[in-house]
Amino acid sequence: MSLFRVKGSEIKGVAAAVPETVVCNRDYEYISEADRQLLIKTTGIENRHIAFNGETTGDLCFAAANRLIDELNWERSQIDLVIFVSQSPDHFLPATAIILQDRLGLSKTTAAFDIMLGCSGFVYGLSVAASMMSTGGFRRALLLAGDVSSAGVNIKDKSTYPLFGDCGTATALEYNRDYEMCFNLQSDGSGKDSIIIPHGGLRHPITEDSFVEKEYEPGVIRHHRDLWLNGMDVFTFSVREAPLNATALLDYCGVSVADIDLFVMHQANLLMNETIRKKLKIDSSKVPYTLKNFGNTSSASIPLTLVEHFRQSEIQNKRVLLSSFGVGLSWGSCYLETGNWIVPETVKI
Amino acid sequence: MMGNGDNLELFISKLENELDMLEPGSLKPDVKYRDIPNWSSMFALIIIAFCETEYSVAVTGADLRQCETFTDLHTLVQSRIGKS
């Protein structure tokens, strides 16, 4: 079991950035009006911010981080660690975190590296940042989580295209000897084909065949460089495993479901998330969503939802449960308590 | 456990509430669900969510491909209640 608690770092703020361009699912012309209505009702997704002008994940995380550093009034020379979590980095190499160390004007004494995870990435990234900071060797850190998933989906694939939005986020952590977070991390590689871009890595390098489109079922046209999603398998996995994982974490922490003030899930789709919420018996008033106007923003969805929720609500000293699940298959949860967070308005670039 | 032991009629009635965008009365025990007009893969997700929430039974895409009718689905769910 990967259940553990980490002492030594505290979240000080969260920021998010999205591309300005908005795409509406009501205008998605590859399906009928009846299917559009069913899609919006089931997924909860009406609008998505899309990187229409070539914005990269690094650009979005840069904008979020820049804003957050300014609002926190942090000296850039005092940031020791940058972790970038994404499955859509700016380059195959080098790591985007290192490029951002330079773009953000951080010191060369900053440690910087990438973690390649999607939907579960924020919780994993937070656990890595917190663990490194627990050594006392890092005083301030930035966790940058984001994805430009729109670059990997085929507009003629109704099973993926209407779901994903683009977003980059920044979470600021500071050393605090007494502050604690708890995690439960899991993985199951036997589900690797459930969400996959089949070609482009070393297993299947790009060839001419990679870009040959095929209709796999009505309304599902894609090629091997596109994202493939087996929606039913992912759905079954998520509604089964996410509640078990979260329940085990709460047991480990000695916290009951009733004690939780806020339950923030990876924003996959409304039907899936609501099924998880109902299984955990958490009141809907404690569960914020950003699906309607942002869609599934992959690794950015939890911090984006925190930002959007925290802009509207009192958030100091809340007991928060985070739950993430998806591509890998990979999933995890985190229990933490909020302090005096700085949360700027979502940046649009 | 909610819904434990629902008979076929009640099972279909509850499912009809979830699939409220279908023509009322189109869910009948021996109708092949994939033949229902305007059937969509989204309905499959709604069925999976319903079985999980109502009966704590995991139904997969493969299960739904193997079953043909609501009677088949009811039999499958009943056989799994309390076993997961």
**Domains present along chain B, CATH in parentheses:** 8-80 (1.10.1200.10)
Tokens (6 digits) for B35: 């033949």
Residue A235 makes CB contacts below 8 A (sequence gap 6+) with: A271, A272, B45, B48, B49
The whole-number pLDDT of residue B28 equals: 84
Pairing of strands A167-187, A140-147: antiparallel
- CB-nearest to B61 from A37, A233, A239 is A233
DSSP code per residue over A299-326: GGHHHHHHHHHHTTS--TT-EEEEEEEE
DSSP code per residue over A37-94: HHHHHHH---EEE--TT---HHHHHHHHHHHHHHHHT--GGG--EEEEE-SS-SSSSS
Report the residue of chain A nearest B58, measured CA to CA.
Answer: A236
Answer yes or no: are the C-beta atoms of A250 and A335 closer than 8 Å: yes
Tokens (6 digits) for A56: 């990269």
ipTM for the complex shown: 0.84
DSSP code per residue over B31-79: SBGGGSTT--HHHHHHHHHHHHHHH-----HHHHHH--BHHHHHHHHHH
B42 touches chain A (CB under 8 A): yes
Which of A61, A167, A266, A273 is catalytic? The answer is: A266
pTM assigned to the model: 0.94
How far apart are alpha carbons B17 and A220 in whole angstroms?
28
The whole-number pLDDT of residue B2 equals: 47
Across residues B31-57, what is the average pLDDT?
Answer: 87
A245 a catalytic residue: no
Report the residue of chain A nearest B39, measured CA to CA.
Answer: A35
Tell me the pLDDT of chain A (349 aa) as tens digits.
699 999 999 999 999 999 999 999 999 999 989 889 999 999 999 999 999 999 999 999 999 999 999 999 999 999 999 999 999 999 999 999 999 999 999 999 999 999 999 999 999 999 999 999 999 999 999 999 999 999 999 999 999 999 999 999 999 999 999 999 999 999 999 999 999 999 999 999 999 999 999 999 888 999 999 999 998 899 999 999 999 999 999 999 999 999 999 999 999 999 999 999 999 999 999 999 999 999 999 999 999 999 999 877 777 889 999 999 999 999 999 999 998 899 999 999 9
Instruction: Work out the minimum CA distance from B25 to partner chain A, whole angstroms.
Output: 19
The whole-number pLDDT of residue A1 equals: 62
B52 touches chain A (CB under 8 A): yes
Q: How far is CA A331 from the centre of its chain?
A: 11
Contact B49 A159 (CB under 8 A): no
Burial call B52-66: b when 16+ CB within 10 Å, e when fewer: bbbbbbbbebebbee
Nearest to A77 by CA among A101, A111, A99, A106: A106
Answer yes or no: are the C-beta atoms of A173 and A13 closer than 8 Å: no
A24 a catalytic residue: no
Tokens (6 digits) for A337: 């308590």
Q: What angle do CA A38, A40, A45 make, to 5 degrees?
A: 155
B1 touches chain A (CB under 8 A): no
How far apart are alpha carbons A305 and A290 in whole angstroms?
6
Mutate to test the interface with B, among A45, A236, A241, A272 (most CBs of B within 10 A): A236
Residue B84 — very low, low, confident or very high, per pLDDT cuts 50/70/90? low
Q: Is the pLDDT of residue B4 over 90?
A: no
Q: How far is CA A193 from the centre of its chain?
A: 20
On the question of a cis peptide bond just before residue A94, with omega within 30 degrees of 0, the verdict is yes
Mutate to test the interface with B, among A32, A158, A235, A272 (most CBs of B within 10 A): A235
The whole-number pLDDT of residue B1 equals: 45
On the question of a cis peptide bond just before residue A244, with omega within 30 degrees of 0, the verdict is no
Q: Across chain B, what does the average pLDDT equal?
A: 85
A296 a catalytic residue: yes
Q: How many CB pairs below 8 A link A and B?
A: 54
Which of A61, A119, A167, A334 is catalytic? The answer is: A119
DSSP state of A260: -
- CB-nearest to A232 from B44, B52, B53 is B44
Return the amino acid letter for A30: Y
Q: Is the pLDDT of residue B41 over 90?
A: no
Nearest 5°: phi and psi at B58? -85, 120
Contact A34 B52 (CB under 8 A): no
Q: What is the CATH number of the domain that holds A337?
A: 3.40.47.10
The whole-number pLDDT of residue A45 equals: 98
Contact A232 B40 (CB under 8 A): no
Mutate to test the interface with A, among B1, B36, B45 (most CBs of A within 10 A): B45
Answer yes or no: are the C-beta atoms of A195 and A214 closer than 8 Å: no
The whole-number pLDDT of residue A284 equals: 95
- Number of compact structural domains in chain A: 1
Kindly report, residue by residue over A218-271, the tens digit of the pLDDT. 889 999 999 999 988 999 999 999 999 999 999 999 999 999 999 999 999 999
Kindly report, residue by residue over A288-315, the tens digit of the pLDDT. 999 999 999 999 999 999 999 987 777 7
Q: Is the pLDDT of residue B3 over 70?
A: no
Contact A42 B45 (CB under 8 A): yes
> What domain range is A152 assigned to?
1-349
